[in-house]
């Protein structure tokens, strides 16, 4: 089976395109089940974050599998006018695995060495596994990828610094405002991104927070945790009138802050400037807001311009991480290439035994009067003939298992000798 991936990320698609394919966690199970039913898809994992949307799968037909994933992505994006094709990338076989290894290690992130991505990939895999849409190749691929991500963070310095989208958002705000000590900060949303953002703000000296969320109970829990003032979502306009700075990271599918709302708020503020940083995907704040006088609005794509003091150190660590990934890729290739070879060799040897036993059972009864010693010589000769006959194909199978021709040669041997291989069972045996 061949690993494949189709996706788009912050490098290939702007936020207004990425938000069209963002999947809320409440719909993840149904989408996974739907993708699994597409032609050629034998197992699937869907990774949806603020900066990327990727569908990993395994297939026995690369072209069919890739077309299925692309068709799902187009359908999800409701691609009626502007084509989404120009934003999509895809990989197959080993480039897919290497891409996943780099993603989980934080080497493909907007913020080099990003710490959150490891947990996000783990959560995506766990969701697919729990839904029952993975298979043995997907399981091993993602288990190995997560191990690589942990190894990179353990053996390099890439994880020694606080690196995440929320951290970078705080850095951007700090570069604009200079200090948080006298600022009243409004946090919209109570999820992981909002929690991390607030922790970084506290570390930078911020102390006055307002929190608002559609769930009043979650807003109150968040307020207790961070010593903030919880405000009902219905009073959001009052929060916006008071705040000096806004960080928004909700899971809303639609804008929660509209341009006409901000226009009214700015009149109440007597044109006192307001900085808004929207790190949600889909976006929380209507982009038209940025055209209102006194407003400074930044979305997640603006974070790529932020360079922090640890960037050089992480770039050096990334070079070491690439070496680790290259070595782990060789280990993966050895494992993956051996999947069809080992059971084929076993089946070939079994077929040889069957032929030998059948012919001996037919010949020995016709040889009347032979001694036990003579029968032993005949059986040894039969063994020798079969072993010599199978020596070349078995040796060649082992030699080509780690080459691009390995799968093709294995298939030729299977067809030539009429071997029936239980692929799923073979994968199971190799993953034990």
147 and 249, same domain (yes or no): no
Query: Rounded to an integer, what distance in angstroms lies between the CA atom of residue 141 and that of residue 47?
Result: 14
155 and 25, same domain (yes or no): yes
296 and 347, same domain (yes or no): no
257 and 189, same domain (yes or no): yes
Supply the CATH number for residue 80's domain. Answer: 3.30.460.30
Given a cut of 80, is residue 430 above it in pLDDT? no
Given a cut of 80, is residue 338 above it in pLDDT? no
Say what the pLDDT of residue 81 is: 52
Told to judge if 239 belongs to the known catalytic residues of this protein, a careful annotator would answer no
- Continuous H helices in 258-371: 259-268, 311-363
> Structurally, how many domains does the chain consist of?
3
pLDDT tens track for 142-199: 999 999 999 999 999 887 775 789 999 999 999 999 999 999 999 999 999 999 999 9
Supply the CATH number for residue 218's domain. Answer: 3.40.50.720
Q: Is residue 195 part of a domain?
A: yes
Query: Rounded to an integer, what distance in angstroms lies between the CA atom of residue 251 and that of residue 240?
Result: 19
Query: Rounded to an integer, what distance in angstroms lies between the CA atom of residue 17 and that of residue 110?
Result: 16
Q: Is residue 310 part of a domain?
A: no
Q: Which whole-number Å values give the CA distances from 46 to 25, 28, 78, 134, in the listed order?
A: 11, 8, 18, 11
132 and 195, same domain (yes or no): no
Q: Is residue 325 part of a domain?
A: no
CB neighbour class for 234 (10 Å; exposed up to 12, middle 13-18, buried from 19): exposed
Tell me which residue range forms the domain holding 13. Answer: 2-162
Please identify, among 138, 162, 186, the residue that sits at the C-terminal boundary of a domain.
Answer: 162
Q: Are the C-beta atoms of 128 and 46 separated by less than 8 Å?
A: yes
Say what the pLDDT of residue 422 is: 61
What does the pLDDT average to over 401-422? 79
Mean pLDDT score of the chain, rounded to an integer? 90
Q: Is residue 328 part of a domain?
A: no
Q: Is residue 323 part of a domain?
A: no
265 and 404, same domain (yes or no): no
Say what the pLDDT of residue 80 is: 57
11 and 91, same domain (yes or no): yes
pLDDT tens track for 248-302: 999 999 999 999 999 999 999 987 999 999 999 999 999 999 999 999 999 999 9
What does the pLDDT average to over 390-417? 83
Q: Is residue 321 part of a domain?
A: no
Higher pLDDT, 163 or 220: 220
pTM value is: 0.79
Choose the catalytic residue: 6, 50, 256, 275: 50
Q: Is residue 327 part of a domain?
A: no
248 and 225, same domain (yes or no): yes
pLDDT confidence tier of residue 336, bands split at 50, 70 and 90 = confident
């Amino acid at each position: 089976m061949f690993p494949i991936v189709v996706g788009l990320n912050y490098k290939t698609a702007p936020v207004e395109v990425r938000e069209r394919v963002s999947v809320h966690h409440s719909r993840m199970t149904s989408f996974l089940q739907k993708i699994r039913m597409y032609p050629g898809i034998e197992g699937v994992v869907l990774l949806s974050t603020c900066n990327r949307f990727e569908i990993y799968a395994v297939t026995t037909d690369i072209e069919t599998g890739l077309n299925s994933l692309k068709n799902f992505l187009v359908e999800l994006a409701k691609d009626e006018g502007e084509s989404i094709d120009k934003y999509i990338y895809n990989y197959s076989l080993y480039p897919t695995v290497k891409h996943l290894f780099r993603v989980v290690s934080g080497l493909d992130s907007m913020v080099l060495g990003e710490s959150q991505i490891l947990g996000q990939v783990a959560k995506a895999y766990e969701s697919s596994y729990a839904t029952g849409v993975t298979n043995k190749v997907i399981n091993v691929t993602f288990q190995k990828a997560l191990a690589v991500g942990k190894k990179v963070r353990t053996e390099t310095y890439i994880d020694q610094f606080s690196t995440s989208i929320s951290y970078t958002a705080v850095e951007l705000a700090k570069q604009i405002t200079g200090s948080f000590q006298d600022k009243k900060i409004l946090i919209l949303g109570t999820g992981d991104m909002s929690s991390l953002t607030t922790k970084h703000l506290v570390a930078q000296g911020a102390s006055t927070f307002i929190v608002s969320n559609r769930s009043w109970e979650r807003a109150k829990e968040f307020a207790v945790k961070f010593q903030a003032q919880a405000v009902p979502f219905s009073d959001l306009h009052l929060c916006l009138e008071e705040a000096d700075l806004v960080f928004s990271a909700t899971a809303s599918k639609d804008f929660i802050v509209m341009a006409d709302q901000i226009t009214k708020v700015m009149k109440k503020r007597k044109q006192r400037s307001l900085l808004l940083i929207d790190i949600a995907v889909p976006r929380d704040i209507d982009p038209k807001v940025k055209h209102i006088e006194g407003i400074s609005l930044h979305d997640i794509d603006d974070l790529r311009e932020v360079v922090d003091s640890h960037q050089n150190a992480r770039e050096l660590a990334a070079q070491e991480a690439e070496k680790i990934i290259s070595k782990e890729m060789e280990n993966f290739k050895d494992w993956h290439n051996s999947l069809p070879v080992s059971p084929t060799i076993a089946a070939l040897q079994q077929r040889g035994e069957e032929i030998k036993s059948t012919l001996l059972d037919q010949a020995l009864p016709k040889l009347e009067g032979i001694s036990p010693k003579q029968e032993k010589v005949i059986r040894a000769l039969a063994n020798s003939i079969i072993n010599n006959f199978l020596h070349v194909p078995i040796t060649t199978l082992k030699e080509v298992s780690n080459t691009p021709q390995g799968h093709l040669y294995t298939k030729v041997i299977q067809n030539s000798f009429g071997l029936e291989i239980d692929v799923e069972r073979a994968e199971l045996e190799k993953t034990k």
